[in-house]
């Protein structure tokens, strides 16, 4: 079953993100309290679109989280920064390197910052796609396609997102779905990252169901 995420899904979303967060993705290193607070913001915010896949027993199989307005989402993160920082504190104390990644990402949110932006902070944006590796993986693609459809239905045009170089398998899936790589950049921590875009609806080629 696919449905929009509610507050009841936050703990399972945070745990799944922590469990599948790949190397180089700093958010997973900030721990489940932070992830819960982060997704709470997105689920409750005016622009967040978070779609879940649940099993018949009610277990979370996967989710796609994103925003119709990345700039408004940035503003929300900035205004929630104290709550987010407090939520991350226990894990940052245990793993101080997580702090550096978080600080770099936070600095990149600052408007007119001299720090180079390493993601596109405007328009519709996909934030995270996660799928429980013990579940039937054909559902992961169906979930993502439905999220894209939902975003279009809600008025999104081009949808932007980033995938780290270490996650080339995911880049290939997006290319197969019609996404284009618009740039390749290197983050301040030396991580190479692909900027991808699902173009305007009329030019998208959908594969899968
Ligand atoms: C990214 C993620 C959601 C993808 O889900 P997944 O179920 O692992 O995806 P898979 O690579 O197994 O591919 C799913 C299906 O698509 C198929 N597929 C894979 N690459 C494909 C391609 N390029 N073209 C067409 N089909 C493809 C696979 O064969 C598989 O089908 P099958 O189950 O019938 O064999 C999941 O791996 C995950 O949670 N990763 C960690 C978080 C992450 O990296 N998120 C993305 C960055 S935001």
Pocket lining: 194 vs ligand 1, CB cutoff 6 Å: no
- Closest residue by Cα to atom 20, ligand 1, is 173
List the chain domain ranges.
Answer: 2-156
Determine the atom of ligand 1 nearest the C-alpha atom of 20.
Answer: 41
Pairing between strand 180-186 and 192-198?
antiparallel
Nearest partner of 48 among 119, 118, 126, judged by Cα:
126
Would the pLDDT of 144 be above 80?
yes
91-124 pLDDT, tens digit each:
888 877 777 767 766 666 655 554 445 566 679 9
Pocket lining: 141 vs ligand 1, CB cutoff 6 Å: yes
Pocket lining: 172 vs ligand 1, CB cutoff 6 Å: yes
Give whole-number Cα distances, 116 to 110, 113, 160, 178, in Å: 10, 7, 17, 28
**Cα gap 9→198, rounded to integer Å:** 27
| pLDDT for the residue 209 | 47
To the nearest whole percent, how much of the chain has pLDDT over 90? 63
More confident residue, 9 or 192: 9
Which residue bears the tokens 């013990």? 134
189-203 pLDDT, tens digit each:
788 889 999 987 755
Would the pLDDT of 157 be above 70?
yes
| Cα of 172 from ligand 1 centre, angstroms | 9
CATH class of the domain whose range is 2-156:
alpha beta
């Amino acid at each position: 079953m696919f449905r929009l995420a509610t507050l009841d899904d936050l703990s399972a979303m945070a745990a799944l993100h922590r469990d599948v967060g790949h190397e180089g993705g700093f958010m997973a290193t900030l721990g489940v309290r932070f992830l819960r607070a982060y997704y709470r913001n997105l689920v409750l915010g005016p622009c967040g679109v978070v779609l879940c896949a649940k099993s018949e027993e009610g277990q979370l199989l996967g989710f796609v989280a994103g925003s119709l307005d990345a700039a408004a989402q940035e503003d929300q993160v900035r205004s929630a920064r104290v709550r987010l920082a407090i939520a991350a504190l226990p894990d940052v104390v245990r793993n101080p390197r997580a702090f550096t990644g978080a600080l770099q990402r936070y600095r990149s949110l600052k408007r007119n910052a001299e720090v180079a932006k390493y993601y596109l902070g405007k328009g519709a944006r996909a934030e995270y796609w996660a799928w429980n590796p013990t579940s039937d993986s054909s559902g992961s693609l169906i979930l993502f396609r439905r999220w894209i459809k939902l975003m279009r239905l809600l008025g999104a045009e081009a949808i932007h997102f980033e995938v780290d170089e270490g996650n080339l398998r995911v880049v290939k899936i997006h290319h197969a779905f019609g996404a284009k790589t618009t740039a390749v950049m290197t983050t301040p921590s030396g991580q190479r990252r692909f900027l991808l875009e699902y173009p305007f609806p009329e030019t998208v080629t959908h594969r899968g169901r």
